[in-house]
Protein backbone atom coordinates (compact mmCIF):
# COMPACT_ATOMS: atom_id res chain seq x y z
CA UNK A 1 0.00 0.00 0.00
CA UNK A 2 1.28 3.46 -0.93
CA UNK A 3 2.29 5.55 2.09
CA UNK A 4 0.26 8.75 2.61
CA UNK A 5 1.59 12.24 2.01
CA UNK A 6 2.81 13.83 5.23
CA UNK A 7 4.24 17.14 4.02
CA UNK A 8 4.17 19.53 1.04
CA UNK A 9 6.44 22.59 0.97
CA UNK A 10 7.21 25.20 -1.69
CA UNK A 11 9.93 27.76 -2.45
CA UNK A 12 9.73 30.54 -5.03
CA UNK A 13 12.86 31.33 -7.06
CA UNK A 14 13.67 33.79 -9.80
CA UNK A 15 16.19 33.06 -12.57
CA UNK A 16 17.62 35.84 -14.77
CA UNK A 17 17.67 35.23 -18.52
CA UNK A 18 20.98 35.57 -20.36
CA UNK A 19 19.03 36.73 -23.41
CA UNK A 20 15.71 38.38 -22.43
CA UNK A 21 12.61 36.86 -24.03
CA UNK A 22 11.32 40.39 -24.64
CA UNK A 23 11.55 43.90 -23.19
CA UNK A 24 9.45 42.87 -20.18
CA UNK A 25 10.62 39.24 -19.81
CA UNK A 26 14.06 39.33 -18.23
CA UNK A 27 13.68 36.49 -15.73
CA UNK A 28 11.62 33.38 -15.06
CA UNK A 29 9.93 32.30 -11.84
CA UNK A 30 10.12 28.73 -10.54
CA UNK A 31 8.31 27.13 -7.65
CA UNK A 32 10.27 24.28 -6.10
CA UNK A 33 7.89 21.71 -4.57
CA UNK A 34 8.95 19.11 -2.01
CA UNK A 35 6.71 16.24 -0.92
CA UNK A 36 7.41 13.79 1.89
CA UNK A 37 5.46 10.63 2.61
CA UNK A 38 4.82 8.99 5.96
CA UNK A 39 7.83 6.69 5.47
CA UNK A 40 10.15 9.69 5.11
CA UNK A 41 10.68 9.36 1.34
CA UNK A 42 10.99 12.73 -0.39
CA UNK A 43 10.21 13.80 -3.94
CA UNK A 44 11.20 17.03 -5.66
CA UNK A 45 9.10 18.72 -8.33
CA UNK A 46 8.57 22.21 -9.60
CA UNK A 47 6.12 24.51 -11.25
CA UNK A 48 6.98 27.33 -13.62
CA UNK A 49 5.43 30.50 -14.93
CA UNK A 50 7.49 32.92 -17.03
CA UNK A 51 5.87 36.27 -16.22
CA UNK A 52 2.48 36.17 -14.50
CA UNK A 53 0.84 34.12 -11.78
CA UNK A 54 3.62 32.72 -9.60
CA UNK A 55 2.11 34.03 -6.37
CA UNK A 56 -1.28 32.59 -7.30
CA UNK A 57 0.22 29.21 -8.16
CA UNK A 58 2.11 29.13 -4.86
CA UNK A 59 -1.04 30.06 -2.94
CA UNK A 60 -2.97 27.25 -4.63
CA UNK A 61 -0.25 24.77 -3.68
CA UNK A 62 0.09 25.95 -0.09
CA UNK A 63 -3.61 26.08 0.66
CA UNK A 64 -6.12 24.20 -1.48
CA UNK A 65 -3.75 21.50 -2.72
CA UNK A 66 -1.85 20.95 0.54
CA UNK A 67 -5.09 20.85 2.55
CA UNK A 68 -6.53 18.19 0.24
CA UNK A 69 -3.50 15.93 -0.35
CA UNK A 70 -1.98 15.56 3.13
CA UNK A 71 -3.02 12.14 4.38
CA UNK A 72 -3.83 10.81 0.90
CA UNK A 73 -1.67 8.27 -1.00
CA UNK A 74 1.61 9.55 -2.42
CA UNK A 75 0.67 8.17 -5.83
CA UNK A 76 0.47 10.66 -8.71
CA UNK A 77 -1.68 8.51 -10.99
CA UNK A 78 -4.15 7.73 -8.19
CA UNK A 79 -4.76 11.24 -6.92
CA UNK A 80 -4.44 13.43 -10.03
CA UNK A 81 -8.01 13.06 -11.33
CA UNK A 82 -9.80 13.40 -7.97
CA UNK A 83 -7.64 16.41 -7.08
CA UNK A 84 -8.46 18.04 -10.42
CA UNK A 85 -12.17 17.45 -9.79
CA UNK A 86 -11.79 18.94 -6.31
CA UNK A 87 -10.07 22.07 -7.68
CA UNK A 88 -12.21 22.41 -10.80
CA UNK A 89 -14.42 25.10 -9.31
CA UNK A 90 -11.35 27.38 -9.44
CA UNK A 91 -10.82 26.56 -13.11
CA UNK A 92 -10.13 23.48 -15.20
CA UNK A 93 -6.75 24.83 -16.34
CA UNK A 94 -4.34 27.69 -15.89
CA UNK A 95 -3.37 28.32 -12.27
CA UNK A 96 -5.12 25.08 -11.25
CA UNK A 97 -3.15 22.70 -13.47
CA UNK A 98 0.10 24.70 -13.26
CA UNK A 99 -0.04 24.29 -9.48
CA UNK A 100 -0.99 20.62 -9.75
CA UNK A 101 2.11 20.02 -11.87
CA UNK A 102 4.39 20.85 -8.95
CA UNK A 103 2.80 18.12 -6.83
CA UNK A 104 2.55 15.62 -9.69
CA UNK A 105 6.22 15.98 -10.64
CA UNK A 106 7.30 15.62 -7.02
CA UNK A 107 5.27 12.41 -6.66
CA UNK A 108 6.72 10.90 -9.84
CA UNK A 109 10.20 11.84 -8.64
CA UNK A 110 9.49 10.13 -5.32
CA UNK A 111 8.18 6.98 -7.02
CA UNK A 112 11.11 6.68 -9.44
CA UNK A 113 13.64 7.28 -6.65
CA UNK A 114 11.98 4.56 -4.58
CA UNK A 115 12.40 2.23 -7.56
CA UNK A 116 16.05 3.26 -7.93
CA UNK A 117 15.44 4.38 -11.50
CA UNK A 118 15.27 7.40 -13.74
CA UNK A 119 11.76 8.50 -14.63
CA UNK A 120 12.16 7.16 -18.19
CA UNK A 121 13.20 3.74 -16.92
CA UNK A 122 10.50 3.78 -14.25
CA UNK A 123 7.85 4.46 -16.92
CA UNK A 124 9.34 1.92 -19.33
CA UNK A 125 12.12 3.12 -21.61
CA UNK A 126 11.57 2.69 -25.35
CA UNK A 127 14.59 4.59 -26.73
CA UNK A 128 17.89 6.11 -25.62
CA UNK A 129 17.79 9.38 -27.55
CA UNK A 130 15.35 11.59 -29.41
CA UNK A 131 15.63 14.24 -32.11
CA UNK A 132 15.76 17.84 -30.89
CA UNK A 133 15.08 20.98 -32.86
CA UNK A 134 16.63 24.41 -32.38
CA UNK A 135 14.31 27.08 -31.05
CA UNK A 136 14.42 30.51 -29.49
CA UNK A 137 12.36 33.41 -28.16
CA UNK A 138 13.51 35.70 -30.92
CA UNK A 139 10.68 37.86 -32.26
CA UNK A 140 12.34 40.94 -30.76
CA UNK A 141 15.79 40.10 -32.17
CA UNK A 142 17.21 42.40 -34.83
CA UNK A 143 17.63 40.57 -38.12
CA UNK A 144 21.40 40.20 -37.69
CA UNK A 145 20.91 38.57 -34.27
CA UNK A 146 18.30 36.19 -35.68
CA UNK A 147 20.65 35.17 -38.47
CA UNK A 148 23.44 34.61 -35.94
CA UNK A 149 21.13 32.40 -33.90
CA UNK A 150 20.24 30.36 -36.98
CA UNK A 151 23.94 29.94 -37.68
CA UNK A 152 24.44 28.62 -34.12
CA UNK A 153 21.67 26.08 -34.70
CA UNK A 154 23.33 24.85 -37.87
CA UNK A 155 26.71 24.61 -36.14
CA UNK A 156 25.07 22.65 -33.29
CA UNK A 157 23.84 20.02 -35.75
CA UNK A 158 20.08 20.62 -35.59
CA UNK A 159 18.16 19.20 -38.55
CA UNK A 160 15.13 21.38 -37.80
CA UNK A 161 14.70 24.90 -36.37
CA UNK A 162 11.83 27.16 -35.31
CA UNK A 163 11.53 30.95 -35.40
CA UNK A 164 8.93 33.42 -34.19
CA UNK A 165 6.66 35.34 -36.56
CA UNK A 166 3.79 37.76 -35.99
CA UNK A 167 5.47 41.14 -36.38
CA UNK A 168 3.20 44.13 -37.10
CA UNK A 169 4.43 44.31 -40.70
CA UNK A 170 4.13 41.05 -42.63
CA UNK A 171 7.01 42.14 -44.86
CA UNK A 172 9.31 41.89 -41.82
CA UNK A 173 8.18 38.32 -41.17
CA UNK A 174 8.85 37.43 -44.78
CA UNK A 175 12.32 38.98 -44.66
CA UNK A 176 13.21 37.13 -41.47
CA UNK A 177 11.89 33.73 -42.55
CA UNK A 178 13.68 34.09 -45.89
CA UNK A 179 16.94 34.94 -44.08
CA UNK A 180 16.69 31.90 -41.79
CA UNK A 181 15.88 29.61 -44.70
CA UNK A 182 18.97 30.89 -46.51
CA UNK A 183 21.12 30.14 -43.47
CA UNK A 184 19.80 26.64 -42.78
CA UNK A 185 19.54 25.61 -46.43
CA UNK A 186 16.84 23.59 -48.17
CA UNK A 187 17.54 20.28 -46.43
CA UNK A 188 16.65 21.33 -42.87
CA UNK A 189 13.10 21.64 -41.62
CA UNK A 190 11.81 25.11 -40.77
CA UNK A 191 8.91 25.76 -38.38
CA UNK A 192 7.31 29.08 -37.47
CA UNK A 193 5.46 30.16 -34.32
CA UNK A 194 2.99 33.06 -34.21
CA UNK A 195 2.17 32.81 -30.48
CA UNK A 196 -1.56 33.50 -31.05
CA UNK A 197 -0.86 36.96 -32.53
CA UNK A 198 -2.92 36.65 -35.70
CA UNK A 199 -6.62 36.84 -36.35
CA UNK A 200 -7.99 34.58 -39.09
CA UNK A 201 -7.61 37.12 -41.90
CA UNK A 202 -4.06 37.95 -40.77
CA UNK A 203 -3.20 34.26 -40.64
CA UNK A 204 -4.51 33.62 -44.12
CA UNK A 205 -2.48 36.51 -45.57
CA UNK A 206 0.62 35.51 -43.63
CA UNK A 207 0.49 31.87 -44.64
CA UNK A 208 0.07 32.79 -48.30
CA UNK A 209 3.29 34.81 -48.04
CA UNK A 210 5.28 32.38 -45.88
CA UNK A 211 4.29 28.95 -47.23
CA UNK A 212 6.73 29.20 -50.18
CA UNK A 213 9.64 28.92 -47.73
CA UNK A 214 8.84 25.26 -47.11
CA UNK A 215 7.34 25.13 -43.64
CA UNK A 216 7.17 22.03 -41.46
CA UNK A 217 4.41 23.56 -39.32
CA UNK A 218 2.76 26.79 -38.21
CA UNK A 219 2.47 26.93 -34.42
CA UNK A 220 -0.29 28.78 -32.56
CA UNK A 221 -1.44 30.89 -35.51
CA UNK A 222 -4.62 32.00 -33.67
CA UNK A 223 -5.95 32.41 -30.16
CA UNK A 224 -5.76 29.03 -28.50
CA UNK A 225 -9.42 29.11 -27.47
CA UNK A 226 -10.76 29.89 -30.97
CA UNK A 227 -11.42 26.42 -32.35
CA UNK A 228 -13.81 27.60 -35.07
CA UNK A 229 -11.19 29.87 -36.67
CA UNK A 230 -8.60 27.10 -36.47
CA UNK A 231 -10.97 24.84 -38.43
CA UNK A 232 -11.36 27.48 -41.15
CA UNK A 233 -7.61 28.04 -41.32
CA UNK A 234 -6.83 24.33 -41.49
CA UNK A 235 -9.23 23.99 -44.40
CA UNK A 236 -7.51 26.84 -46.26
CA UNK A 237 -3.80 26.00 -45.90
CA UNK A 238 -1.57 23.02 -46.57
CA UNK A 239 0.96 23.66 -43.79
CA UNK A 240 0.23 21.51 -40.72
CA UNK A 241 -1.01 23.37 -37.64
CA UNK A 242 0.66 22.75 -34.29
CA UNK A 243 -1.20 23.61 -31.07
CA UNK A 244 -1.11 22.75 -27.40
CA UNK A 245 1.15 25.17 -25.57
CA UNK A 246 -1.97 26.88 -24.22
CA UNK A 247 -4.37 23.93 -24.06
CA UNK A 248 -4.81 22.62 -20.54
CA UNK A 249 -6.73 19.35 -20.55
CA UNK A 250 -6.97 16.18 -22.60
CA UNK A 251 -10.52 17.23 -23.46
CA UNK A 252 -9.31 20.33 -25.29
CA UNK A 253 -6.59 18.35 -27.04
CA UNK A 254 -9.20 15.83 -28.18
CA UNK A 255 -11.43 18.63 -29.50
CA UNK A 256 -8.64 20.11 -31.63
CA UNK A 257 -7.53 16.71 -32.90
CA UNK A 258 -11.03 15.47 -33.70
CA UNK A 259 -11.87 18.75 -35.47
CA UNK A 260 -9.05 18.05 -37.91
CA UNK A 261 -7.02 21.03 -36.72
CA UNK A 262 -4.10 19.66 -34.72
CA UNK A 263 -1.69 17.60 -36.76
CA UNK A 264 1.00 18.21 -34.14
CA UNK A 265 0.13 18.53 -30.43
CA UNK A 266 2.46 20.37 -28.06
CA UNK A 267 1.53 19.86 -24.41
CA UNK A 268 3.57 21.84 -21.92
CA UNK A 269 4.31 19.47 -19.04
CA UNK A 270 3.68 22.10 -16.38
CA UNK A 271 0.66 23.79 -17.91
CA UNK A 272 -1.24 20.53 -18.44
CA UNK A 273 -0.65 19.50 -14.83
CA UNK A 274 2.43 17.29 -14.87
CA UNK A 275 3.49 13.85 -16.07
CA UNK A 276 0.18 12.10 -15.33
CA UNK A 277 -1.95 14.12 -17.78
CA UNK A 278 0.94 14.40 -20.25
CA UNK A 279 1.02 10.62 -20.58
CA UNK A 280 -2.72 10.62 -21.26
CA UNK A 281 -2.33 13.26 -23.97
CA UNK A 282 0.54 11.30 -25.50
CA UNK A 283 -1.66 8.18 -25.65
CA UNK A 284 -4.46 10.22 -27.20
CA UNK A 285 -2.10 11.53 -29.88
CA UNK A 286 -0.83 8.03 -30.63
CA UNK A 287 -4.35 6.64 -30.86
CA UNK A 288 -5.45 9.46 -33.20
CA UNK A 289 -2.31 9.29 -35.35
CA UNK A 290 -1.08 12.83 -34.73
CA UNK A 291 2.46 13.90 -33.87
CA UNK A 292 3.64 14.77 -30.37
CA UNK A 293 6.13 17.62 -29.87
CA UNK A 294 6.23 18.81 -26.24
CA UNK A 295 6.50 22.53 -25.61
CA UNK A 296 9.75 23.73 -23.95
CA UNK A 297 10.97 22.21 -20.63
CA UNK A 298 13.55 20.08 -22.41
CA UNK A 299 14.92 18.77 -19.09
CA UNK A 300 11.61 16.96 -18.53
CA UNK A 301 10.08 16.51 -21.98
CA UNK A 302 13.12 14.75 -23.39
CA UNK A 303 13.08 12.25 -20.53
CA UNK A 304 9.42 11.42 -21.14
CA UNK A 305 10.07 11.22 -24.87
CA UNK A 306 12.27 8.21 -24.11
CA UNK A 307 9.25 6.37 -22.72
CA UNK A 308 6.20 7.29 -24.83
CA UNK A 309 4.92 5.09 -27.64
CA UNK A 310 5.60 7.39 -30.61
CA UNK A 311 8.78 9.08 -31.83
CA UNK A 312 8.87 12.61 -30.46
CA UNK A 313 10.54 15.84 -31.51
CA UNK A 314 11.68 17.85 -28.48
CA UNK A 315 12.25 21.59 -28.35
CA UNK A 316 15.76 22.77 -27.49
CA UNK A 317 15.24 26.47 -26.87
CA UNK A 318 18.42 28.49 -26.62
CA UNK A 319 19.29 29.57 -23.06
CA UNK A 320 16.06 28.01 -21.73
CA UNK A 321 17.10 24.67 -20.24
CA UNK A 322 17.28 24.44 -16.46
CA UNK A 323 21.02 23.87 -16.72
CA UNK A 324 21.53 26.96 -18.89
CA UNK A 325 19.41 29.00 -16.50
CA UNK A 326 21.68 27.96 -13.66
CA UNK A 327 18.85 26.76 -11.43
CA UNK A 328 20.01 23.19 -10.85
CA UNK A 329 21.86 21.61 -7.99
CA UNK A 330 23.85 18.85 -9.64
CA UNK A 331 24.25 17.65 -13.20
CA UNK A 332 21.84 18.33 -16.04
CA UNK A 333 19.32 15.51 -16.54
CA UNK A 334 19.33 15.97 -20.33
CA UNK A 335 22.16 16.71 -22.76
CA UNK A 336 21.79 17.78 -26.40
CA UNK A 337 24.54 16.81 -28.82
CA UNK A 338 24.54 17.06 -32.61
CA UNK A 339 20.80 17.58 -32.73
CA UNK A 340 19.96 14.64 -30.45
CA UNK A 341 18.76 14.76 -26.83
CA UNK A 342 19.67 12.01 -24.40
CA UNK A 343 18.96 11.66 -20.72
CA UNK A 344 21.63 11.12 -18.08
CA UNK A 345 19.55 8.43 -16.31
CA UNK A 346 19.73 10.28 -13.01
CA UNK A 347 17.51 8.99 -10.18
CA UNK A 348 13.92 10.21 -10.34
CA UNK A 349 13.48 13.31 -12.46
CA UNK A 350 17.10 14.26 -11.87
CA UNK A 351 15.93 17.80 -11.17
CA UNK A 352 16.65 19.59 -7.90
CA UNK A 353 16.39 23.38 -7.87
CA UNK A 354 18.93 25.44 -6.00
CA UNK A 355 17.88 27.00 -2.73
CA UNK A 356 18.17 30.65 -1.81
CA UNK A 357 21.80 30.22 -0.77
CA UNK A 358 22.80 29.15 -4.29
CA UNK A 359 23.06 31.15 -7.50
CA UNK A 360 19.46 32.30 -7.26
CA UNK A 361 17.79 34.67 -4.88
CA UNK A 362 14.42 33.86 -3.36
CA UNK A 363 11.69 35.85 -5.06
CA UNK A 364 9.81 38.24 -2.78
- Closest Cα partner for 31 from 48, 43, 15, 17? 48
Beta strands in the chain (DSSP E): 5-16, 27-37, 42-49, 130-135, 160-164, 189-193, 215-219, 241-243, 262-265, 291-292, 314-317, 334-337, 340-343, 361-362
Query: What's CA 259's distance to the chain center, in Å?
Result: 23
Q: How far apart are CA 321 and CA 298, in angstroms?
A: 6
- Closest Cα partner for 191 from 205, 210, 172? 210
Q: Is 162 a catalytic residue?
A: no
Residues in contact with 128: Cβ distance below 8 Å, sequence separation at least 6, in sequence order:
306, 342
Other beta carbons within 10 Å of 311:
12
Set 122, 162, 164, 230: catalytic member = 164
* Burial of residue 13, with CB atoms counted within 10 A of its CB: 0-12 exposed, 13-18 middle, 19 or more buried: buried
Q: How far apart are CA 207 and CA 14, in angstroms?
A: 37
Catalytic residue positions, numbered: 164, 295
Amino acid sequence: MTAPIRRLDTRRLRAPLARPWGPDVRDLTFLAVEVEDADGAVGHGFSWTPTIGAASVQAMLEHDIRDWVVGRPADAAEIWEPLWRHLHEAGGGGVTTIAMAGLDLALWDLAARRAGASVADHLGRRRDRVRAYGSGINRHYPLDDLVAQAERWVAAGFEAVKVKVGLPDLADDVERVRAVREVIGPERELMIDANQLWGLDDALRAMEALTPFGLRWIEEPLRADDLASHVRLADAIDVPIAVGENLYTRYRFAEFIDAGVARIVQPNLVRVGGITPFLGIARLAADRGVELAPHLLLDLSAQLAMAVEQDVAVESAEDASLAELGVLTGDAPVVVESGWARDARLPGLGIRLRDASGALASAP
